[in-house]
Chains A and B, each alone.
Chain A
Amino acid sequence: MSTDNTTQPESFGENSRRALTNPLLQRALTIATVKATSARSVAVTHVGPANWEQLRDRAHAIKKHTIENLDFYLEKFAGNVERLGGKVYWAQTADDACKYVAELAQRRGVQEIVKSKSMMSEEIGLNHALEDAGIKPIETDLGEYIVQLANERPSHINMPAIHKTRSDVADLFAEKLGVERTEEIAEMTALARRVLRARFAEAQMGVTGVNYAIADTGTIVLVENEGNIRLTTSLPRIHVAIMGIEKVIPNLQDLDVFLLLLSRSASGQKMCSYVSLLTGARSSQDEEGPDEFHVVLVDNGRVEMLSDKQLRESLYCIRCGACLNVCPVYRKIGGHAYGWVYPGPIGAVLTPQMIGLDRATSLPFASSLCGACGDVCPVKIKLPDMLLHLRQRINDNGHIKTKARKRDRLERLSFKFWAMAMKTSRRYRYVACFGRLVQALIRKRNANGSVSLRVPQWSDTRDFPPLARRSFREQWRDRSH
């Protein structure tokens, strides 16, 4: 498939055109997003819409409270981890975080690291950093394993190989693992189990992300279906958990709210197969689990995002992927077109903040502003508002290229005229009357026989319906006689 990890946010237009003309990708995206959205809506119906709203409001309130007091809760969390024998490292940049993990591995003589799926590790580019340090990272989540074998980047937050069909995976396994080609999903899964079991049996160090960190108890929470996270956190003698500083929540009761929301939003499950709560290092040699437990707290631009009151909410995200699955843009172009780690509506909000507005000018415009993302978000992040806000910033900062700027001036003029015309009902009637007279000049007949107006650029990709011959008010007046 032509989507690969060389895409960049700057070439969004080109990336998406390529995705749209890729029939295999279109098929794969439809299968996955339709299944995920329908499973989610069934799960929400079971909870009851009123209860669901109550949970979303609660989750939003918890995140708001925790983010506003992040210094307090982080200090508490880190204090508890250290009190219970864990080690905490505060990483200001992606490089700091990668260096810490790589150097730890080198000091302990570790050559191979088993990893579970983690968006944070994608964000900081951990795999590259490890390879540069001569350490081999092995992705163990089936989807991530497929993506790693194909030398690609995940194209969805929790369904990394969403862009691949079974036939793609069959080809990949046959080529990279030297096995007989099979399209049987059960056989391919069993093969991955065998190959990865052998790696787990040897592994000395495991790296995971974190879904939630509980300040009160110093616990990290990991949610999964496959069991690879349980293996990663219980077999190797060293466990390193990497988390963004926004992942902390106050207590176990708050965790309850998020667990109720997360699985249902992500996959429509009431509860994922495995939820692990891991607290500190093991208390004695007589306990199962790793000898060493490290938590890497990553800033990587988040502290700055905190000071931005208009976009701060984007740190409430729990990475469920629901906004991707419902987004009409994501459903057509997939994750790689976005060109960076986080795709979909949340990606369009996070990416400009994380890598710079100038590098991601197209992303906030990759939305029809239909509002579906905001409606499904389990923590009620106002995604459509933030997308609009970012558009305005991009415009104000002059990041849009000259040709677009010219169009922009025309647009602004049109809206000024529109605002003037709409000021009083009399003006509106006169303008509408005038419009009906002149629209014949730009009328065109579409292929399907309908009539629309030709407006430069605007009507290239959409219909501009003509004004009715008689207005509603006029028709009403006639009828009431």
Chain B
Amino acid sequence: MLARIRASLGNAAKHPAPAKLPPFVSQTLVTDGEKLTAEFESEIERVGGQVAHVHSSDQVTAYLSVLPLTGDESSVAISDGLLIKTLRIREWLLTRKTRVVTWQEMPSMEAYRRELLKCGIGVTCADYALADTGTVVLLSGREHHRLASLLPPVHVCLLSTDNIFPRLTSLMDHLSDEAYARERPPHALTCITGPSRTADIEQQITTGVHGPKALHVLLYSTETSKA
């Protein structure tokens, strides 16, 4: 097919790599950390997500304890993210006699999938966030959060305030130099902006069609003064 494409375009069989386009000058960026957090918060609320500031393990568990867990979906899925381990969320859930589902403890993908369908909440971390769209970004590799952030009807996402980028452009620049410059780029990168939604019937927005109906982002920072 490549030969036919070359013939159609009138390109020579062995031609050198095309000259790159000149770099694109993008608009000015907000860089002030505090402004970024505020912008992220207002954007995520605009798309129907919820945000809370947390500074300790207690505050996270207090937030989780008021989320309803009922009926067939009474388990909680947690990923193996660093913050989740540091904040000892698994230990707290176990003291409350909640059934906890993790990737590590499952004998197979099949079993994990089955158990996840019985979870009411999925707790994961996010690697990055984008302020101007209220997006959280999850990279596969270090953490198993691909399904835990998708199957349960409620997704709780822990995010360190240090990892908020102003906008997509700055994240793409960062990723091109870092994760995607490696020999093996991350298998899956997921950008999540608000809960799952559809407007397929009369353009009326309805949430939770296939993915989570609710998205809670817990902004984690150590300084308690900001609260």
Listed in ascending order, the chain A residues whose CB lies under 8 Å from chain B are: 28, 31-32, 35-36, 51, 58, 61-62, 65, 68-72, 74-75, 84, 90, 92, 140-143, 146, 159-161, 164-166, 169, 185-186, 188-190, 192-193, 196-197, 201, 216-219, 225-228, 230-231, 233-235, 237, 245, 250-253, 255-257, 259-260, 267, 269-283, 287-289, 297, 299, 303-304, 306-307
Please judge, given known A-B contacts A141-B200, A192-B209, whether A277 and B168 are in contact too, CB under 8 Å.
Answer: no
Among B135, B197, B200, the residue within 8 A (CB) of A146 is B200
- Evaluate contact between A69 and B11: CB separation under 8 angstroms: yes
Give chain A nearest CB distance to B134 CB in angstroms. Answer: 8
- Evaluate contact between A289 and B146: CB separation under 8 angstroms: yes
Q: Is B32 an interface residue (CB 8 A)?
A: no
Residue numbers in B under 8 Å from A278 (CB-CB): 187-188
Give 9 A-B pairs besides A32-B202, A273-B211 with Cβ atoms closer than 8 angstroms: A74-B5, A166-B201, A185-B206, A250-B20, A271-B134, A273-B192, A274-B190, A276-B188, A279-B188
- Evaluate contact between B188 and A289: CB separation under 8 angstroms: yes
Q: Which 5 A-B pairs have the closest CB atoms?
A: A227-B211, A143-B200, A227-B210, A307-B8, A306-B8
- CA–CA, A196 to B198, complex, Å? 15
- Evaluate contact between A253 and B184: CB separation under 8 angstroms: no
- Evaluate contact between B203 and A256: CB separation under 8 angstroms: no
Q: Is B169 an interface residue (CB 8 A)?
A: yes
Q: Is B195 an interface residue (CB 8 A)?
A: yes
Residue numbers in B under 8 Å from A142 (CB-CB): 198, 200-201, 209
Give chain B nearest CB distance to A136 CB in angstroms. Answer: 19
Residue numbers in A under 8 Å from B203 (CB-CB): 31-32, 35-36, 159
- Evaluate contact between B193 and A271: CB separation under 8 angstroms: yes
Q: Is B2 an interface residue (CB 8 A)?
A: yes
Contact string against A for B residues 165-184, beta-carbon threshold 8 Å, 1 for contact and 0 otherwise: 00011001101100010001
**Which of B1, B20, B200, B203 has the most chain A CB atoms closer than 10 A to its own CB?**
B200
Q: Is B227 an interface residue (CB 8 A)?
A: no
Residue numbers in B under 8 Å from A217 (CB-CB): 180, 185
Q: Is B18 an interface residue (CB 8 A)?
A: yes
- CA–CA, A217 to B172, complex, Å? 13
Residues 135-175 (chain B) with a chain A CB within 8 angstroms: 135, 140-141, 144, 146-147, 150, 168-169, 172-173, 175
Please judge, given known A-B contacts A231-B210, A256-B168, A274-B211, whether A283 and B187 are in contact too, CB under 8 Å.
Answer: yes
Among B11, B21, B117, the residue within 8 A (CB) of A71 is B11
In the complex formed, the residue of A with least CB distance to B189 is A277
- CA–CA, A299 to B109, complex, Å? 36
- CA–CA, A348 to B67, complex, Å? 51
- Evaluate contact between B186 and A279: CB separation under 8 angstroms: yes
Please judge, given known A-B contacts A227-B211, A257-B24, A288-B140, whether A65 and B200 are in contact too, CB under 8 Å.
Answer: no
- Evaluate contact between B196 and A227: CB separation under 8 angstroms: yes
Q: Is B94 an interface residue (CB 8 A)?
A: no
Q: Is B88 an interface residue (CB 8 A)?
A: no
Please judge, given known A-B contacts A253-B173, A282-B187, whether A72 and B17 are in contact too, CB under 8 Å.
Answer: yes
Residue numbers in A under 8 Å from B176 (CB-CB): 251-253
- Evaluate contact between A288 and B103: CB separation under 8 angstroms: yes
Please judge, given known A-B contacts A69-B18, A287-B140, A288-B103, whether A271 and B191 are in contact too, CB under 8 Å.
Answer: yes
- CA–CA, A324 to B39, complex, Å? 33
Q: Is B208 an interface residue (CB 8 A)?
A: yes
Q: Is B204 an interface residue (CB 8 A)?
A: yes
Residue numbers in A under 8 Å from B206 (CB-CB): 185-186, 189
In the complex formed, the residue of B with least CB distance to A142 is B200
- Evaluate contact between A227 and B202: CB separation under 8 angstroms: no
In the complex formed, the residue of A with least CB distance to B25 is A54
- Evaluate contact between A225 and B197: CB separation under 8 angstroms: yes
In the complex formed, the residue of B with least CB distance to A221 is B189
Among B9, B187, B191, the residue within 8 A (CB) of A306 is B9
- CA–CA, A275 to B165, complex, Å? 17
In the complex formed, the residue of A with least CB distance to B79 is A288
Residue numbers in B under 8 Å from A251 (CB-CB): 176
- Evaluate contact between A65 and B24: CB separation under 8 angstroms: no
Give chain B nearest CB distance to A214 CB in angstroms. Answer: 9
- Evaluate contact between B113 and A71: CB separation under 8 angstroms: no
In the complex formed, the residue of A with least CB distance to B204 is A185
Please judge, given known A-B contacts A185-B206, A189-B206, A226-B211, whether A273 and B200 are in contact too, CB under 8 Å.
Answer: no
- Evaluate contact between B8 and A225: CB separation under 8 angstroms: no
18 contacts between A and B (CB under 8 A): A35-B203, A68-B9, A69-B18, A70-B9, A71-B9, A142-B198, A142-B201, A146-B201, A159-B200, A197-B210, A219-B180, A230-B150, A274-B196, A275-B193, A276-B188, A288-B188, A289-B146, A299-B4
Give chain B nearest CB distance to A291 CB in angstroms. Answer: 9
Please judge, given known A-B contacts A65-B21, A279-B188, whether A273 and B193 are in contact too, CB under 8 Å.
Answer: yes
- CA–CA, A281 to B189, complex, Å? 13
In the complex formed, the residue of A with least CB distance to B15 is A72
- Evaluate contact between B184 and A185: CB separation under 8 angstroms: no
Q: Is B199 an interface residue (CB 8 A)?
A: yes
- CA–CA, A272 to B97, complex, Å? 37
- Evaluate contact between A234 and B150: CB separation under 8 angstroms: yes
- Evaluate contact between A71 and B146: CB separation under 8 angstroms: no
